[in-house]
Structures are given as C-alpha cells and as structure tokens.
A and B are shown apart, each in its own frame.
Chain A
Amino acid sequence: MLMSIRNVKKNFHHTQVLKDVSLNVKKGDVVAIIGPSGSGKTTFLRCLSFLEQADGGEMDFNGRTLSLASASKKEIAAVRKQTAFVFQNYNLFANKTALENVTVGLVSGHGMARDKAKKVALAALQKVGMADRADYYPAHLSGGQQQRVAIARAIAASPDVILFDEPTSALDPELVSEVLQVMKELAQEGTTMIVVTHEMKFAREAATHVVFMADGVVVEEGRAEEIFTAPKEERTRRFLQYILPEEYAAAVLI
C-alpha cells in the first residue's frame, strides 16, 4: 500500500466537515472522489497535503506513519516533496512564465540544478502540449492551458502521488476535455492519482477506484463499474440519478 489514510477528522468552528474518513491507495491507483458539494472531498484532499490541519487522523506514506493533526514541519515538508497538488483555480505563480512555474519548485524546493530543471520542465510541458507556450505568463494563457501547465508543474518532480482538487470545475465547458485528456494519459501510464471531481465520465472511464462521499463520511467505495452500474447505497443512487439523469432514467422506471 502506497498511502493508507485512517480516521481523518476535521471541524470548522462547530461544523464537523470530516467525520471519520479512511482511504487506501495502491501504487498506480486512480482514485476518484465524488459526491455532492459540501461533502468534505476537498477538505479531505487538502488535509493530505497539510494545507488544512486535520483534528485527527493518521497516514502511512512511503513507509512512514505520521499524524495528520500534529506532524512536524520536517515531516510535512517531506510529504509535500513526495506529492503534488493540482488546484481548482490552477494557482500558477503569476509572476513566472509557464517554464519558470515548473522550474522554480524543482530548483528552490527540490534542490535540482538549474540546467537539469529546465530540461525536466520542458519535457513536462511537452507532455501536456504546452512546450510552445513555455515563455508565456499565466495571464496570457487560457484556463485550460493554465491547468495543463499546473499539471506539468505537478508531474515534473516525479511525485509518488498527485492530488487533483476539482481540476476542471473552474474551466469553460469547451476547455474541460483538453485537461481531462492529459489526466487520462497520466492515468494510463500508471501515475498514482487521487482526484476530487464532478466529471462522472472521467471517473467512470479513468478511475480504478471510486469513493462516494457525503456529509463528511465515505458512503460507498469500490471499482468504478460497481459504483456506477450497481451502487449499493441509497444515498449513492440518489446522487448518481441527480447528476446523470439520462443514464439513470431507466433505473428509476424499474
């Protein structure tokens, strides 16, 4: 098991956002976390990168066990170097070009030599089809292009797992597919990914494992086909009916 996350709890003020969430991720898994807004999916993902401090929970990762509530600065830094995060609103460094967006983390975060970082970064941009925009600033790129650069930035350091937080939710509809295409390619190459998403088609086609969350708990999880064709829980069924009305119309009639 590459990553084993147990009993994550998180409160915001008096609201329990995560009640007791656990998740196991094997190397090469593509885990899609789906569920209604406010179910805690994003908070869960952010806790894994310590962008939110959980109130409780443990994580085994790369052979070490650490507390999500009280990890030391050193432990946090180590986890962040072995993972990568893709944000909903891209969060590209506004004052850096596409190329520099990738190199700055490699050089100042991972201590890579400048020349090597540039080569690695260009290869990563090539992979997401953005090499010809290497010298553009984020403000001069479309949303889809920015997100592809953000994915290049994420894969460049060869992390053990990439966390995606609704990577297509902020995009105009016509730009969604270019980002999903890149993610599918990564999935096919065996990149370990945890993806919080509303793209059911992507979850169904690319995910090896689907987790349905609602109200701060994991309601149901399993292989993508199981969840989408034969959900066991009523709550899952209602959600899928609501979000994929055409495909579930038949099921409702029966």
Chain B
Amino acid sequence: MRLDFEFMQETFLLVWSGAGTTLSLTALVLLVSIPLGFYLAAVRLHSGLIISSAVRGYVSFVRGTPIILQILLVYSLLPSLLNAAAQAAGLSVNIFDLIEPFWYAAVVFTLNTTALLTEVFRSSLTAIPKGQLEAGLTCGMSAFKTYLHIIVPQALAVALPGLCNATVNLVKGTSLAFLMTVKDIMAVGKIAASYGYNYLEAYLDVFLVYLILCTIIQLGYAVLEARLSTFRAKL
C-alpha cells in the first residue's frame, strides 16, 4: 500500500476551505451557549424546585442521548415542523430552500453545548465562596452587580479548563455536521476522497487539520487562563 502524497498535499489545502464553516459554527454556538449556560447554571443554583428541576432535566436529557441521534432527530424533525408552521401561517415560502442545513447544525450543537456548559459553570459558581456575595451586598452593590463585577469574573477563571474542553469537543463534534450536508472540514475531505477512492489520504489530512486547530485553541485558552488568573496566588 502506498500513499498518494501529491493528492494528500492538494487535499490538505482543500480541506482548510472547510475550516471556515467549522470555526464559524463553533464560534456561533459558543456565542450563544456561554451566556446561556451561565444563566442556566445560576438559575439551577438559585431558583425554586420547579425551574431548577427543568434545567436539570434538560441537562440530563442532552447528556443521556448520543449526539448523532440528536442530529438525526433535529434534522428530520425540525425542517418539517417549520414548514408545516409556515404553511399554517399562510406563508408561501419553502423552508427547505430557505434555511441552510448550517442553521440546523447550529441549533443541535447549541442545545448540546449549552447543557455541557451549564454543568461547567455550575461547578465553577459553587467554587466561589459565599462571602464574596455577602461582601458585595454589604458594600451597597446589588446582587446583580456583585455577580457582574465579582462572581462571574472569578467563576470564569475557574471554568476556563472546562470551557476549553467544551470548545475542543465542539470543534471535533461539528465533524458530525456532514450528516446534515454541512460542508465543514470533514465533509470537504470526504467529498475529495470519493472521486478517486483516496480515503486514507483524505482522512489523514482531516486528522492533521483538526489536530492543528485544536492545538491552537488550547494554546489560546492557556494564554487566556494566565491573563484571567493574575489575581490568584502563585503556587
């Protein structure tokens, strides 16, 4: 067995064209999931039994089902539902043409990542001593302002390793978006391979691209963690 290095080189560059989709999907999902996850974590900790059970149920549902199943479910259910809703509302649009698969992928991964981050932020919020909130209140600040200036920044520093984990998992997880015909890194590699059956070469390319991306992300988080943790005592 011999590897077609020429093909590998060409495809390696080609596969990067999918990186834009992968990264914008990741960025979009994080943009929604980080604030939402923080909010749900705070709700889970401070709300009454009913609301906090609802959050717990959602987290447990997402964690308890394979993501591939969530993708297939959303992709076969959501477009038909939206279409039916559009028709019922008397709109003469074809949802199947109007909404790109990218957006369905965004929905699935947002639901998934939000649930994971809710747990990450819940544990980081409980790591902040109660005295910080009490000090904020006795200084005349509202609970909201104390969260904003004191508790969230500290919790974020604690949450960074978990957040890095979730980001890297998300980048890798979006490779499943090819199931929804989203042209991400994985999909570009698969399509390139299918012309001449150079699957092994294409997969190695995809492998390398993910490795490079995830390494850069981890380095980025390491820098961020060093910056956000300046207030901590050096060990």
Seen from chain A, the residues whose Cβ lies within 8 Å of a Cβ on chain B are: 49, 51, 77, 80-81, 83-85, 87, 89, 91-96, 104-105, 108-110, 137-140, 153, 157
Contact = CB atoms under 8 A, between A and B. Distances in A.
A92 B141 CA distance: 14
B139 A139 contact: no
B140 interface: yes
Contacts of B131: 87, 89, 91
Contact of B138 (A85, A92, A104): A85
A7 to B, nearest CB: 23
B153 interface: yes
B138 A94 contact: no
Interface residues on B, range: 20 to 34
A81 B233 CA distance: 31
Contacts of B208: none
Nearest to A84: B138
Contacts of B145: 108-109
A108 B132 contact: no
A81 to B, nearest CB: 4
Interface in B148-177: 149-150, 153-154, 157
B5 interface: no
A51 B132 contact: no
B149 to A, nearest CB: 6
Contacts of B233: 139-140
A24 to B, nearest CB: 22
B150 A51 contact: no
B231 A139 contact: yes
Interface of B: 129, 131-132, 134-142, 145, 149-150, 153-154, 157, 230-233
A154 to B, nearest CB: 8
Nearest to B229: A95
Contact of B135 (A92, A95, A110, A157): A92
A93 B136 contact: yes
Given A85-B134, A93-B150, A94-B154, 5 more contacts: A49-B138, A91-B132, A93-B149, A94-B232, A105-B141
Contact of A80 (B129, B137, B231): B137
B231 A95 contact: yes
B230 to A, nearest CB: 7
B158 to A, nearest CB: 11
